Chains A and B, each alone.
Chain A
Amino acid sequence: MDALRRTLLKGAGATGAIAAAIAAGVLKPSQVLAAEYNRAAFEAKDMAGALKNIGAASAADSTGIAIKAPDIAENGAVVPVDVSSSIPNTISLAVLVDKNPLPLSSAFDFANGALPEMALRLKMGQTSLVEVVAKTADGKYYRAKKEVKVTVGGCGG
């Protein structure tokens, strides 16, 4: 269940790298204690950064991930999206919106009978790809995407 945290640790190279970062004053100790929240991934400003920080930079395209979303969303503030994975042993799903200022919307881990699927509502600032990344128990990553056209953006401003 600590998959996200492990990813974070891996992303930072090793605990040693985190200690070095504290020494260098880059990370405050309080932030390290709060490492459960994958800040680097959620605050990444582009897809490449978000994917890298969830450990999925080299995810393979897969047809085993289903994304149900409207082709055209009239209201970008509430875009209903259903995602599911039929890839065996999927333990985690992340949903990203390519063109949003902070693309990573959510990442969920599933265990104890929870099926690797979820329904959620996304904000979309403009027409964009919605990407889903699935992680399997053996640490492999897969991705799929679907374009959603947005007529009225939902990121305020």
Chain B
Amino acid sequence: MADPMKIRAQMKGDTAEIRVLMSHPMETGQRKDNAGNLVPAHYIQSITIDVAGKRVIQGQTATSVSRNPVFGFRVKGAKAGDKVVINWVDNKGDKRTDEATIAA
């Protein structure tokens, strides 16, 4: 099981700023280890973000995203206190769901 995501969600005016750091190796499948063997690809494929029970962001990613990916999004109309639920699934079927509350 991967480490928890770090989620920061804060209101700025009528817009919530959501930043998330996911702990993931994002292996490209092209890198070789010290013994010269290819390290198999291992990367996040799917990400969803729900705010107050509504799906606001849905995306797919591949190996061109950096290791330990950081994403920033803005959601208009969200309110302080709304729950943010973020989920990812990788190409090996590992998944992780974490949540945070939007700060005022």
Minimum distance in angstroms from A83 CB to a CB of chain B = 11
Rounded to whole angstroms, the CA-CA distance of A67 and B85 in the bound complex is 27
- Given the contacts A113-B78, A121-B66, A42 and B60 also touching, CB distance less than 8 Å: yes
B28 contacts A109, C-beta separation under 8 Å: no
Q: Which of B11-26 contact A (CB under 8 A)?
A: 15, 19, 26
Q: Which among A4, A82, A112 is the interface contact of B55 at CB below 8 angstroms?
A: A112
Q: Which among B31, B47, B56, B60 is the interface contact of A110 at CB below 8 angstroms?
A: B56
B65 contacts A155, C-beta separation under 8 Å: no
- Given the contacts A102-B64, A106-B62, A111 and B28 also touching, CB distance less than 8 Å: no
B64 contacts A103, C-beta separation under 8 Å: yes
Minimum distance in angstroms from B20 CB to a CB of chain A = 10
A-B contact pairs, 28 of them (CB 8 A): A4-B60, A38-B60, A42-B45, A101-B30, A106-B59, A106-B61, A107-B60, A108-B60, A109-B58, A110-B56, A111-B55, A111-B57, A112-B51, A113-B77, A114-B73, A114-B75, A115-B75, A119-B19, A119-B70, A120-B72, A121-B65, A121-B66, A121-B69, A123-B26, A123-B28, A155-B30, A156-B32, A157-B32
Does B95 lie at the interface of the complex (its beta carbon under 8 Å from any beta carbon of A)?
no
Number of interface residues of B (CB under 8 A): 36
Minimum distance in angstroms from A88 CB to a CB of chain B = 15
Chain A positions within 8 Å of B, measured between CB atoms, are: 1, 4, 36-38, 42-43, 77-79, 82, 96-97, 100-115, 117-124, 154-157
Q: Which among A104, A111, A154 is the interface contact of B62 at CB below 8 angstroms?
A: A104
Minimum distance in angstroms from B8 CB to a CB of chain A = 12
Chain B positions within 8 Å of A, measured between CB atoms, are: 15, 19, 26, 28, 30-32, 45-47, 49, 51, 54-67, 69-78
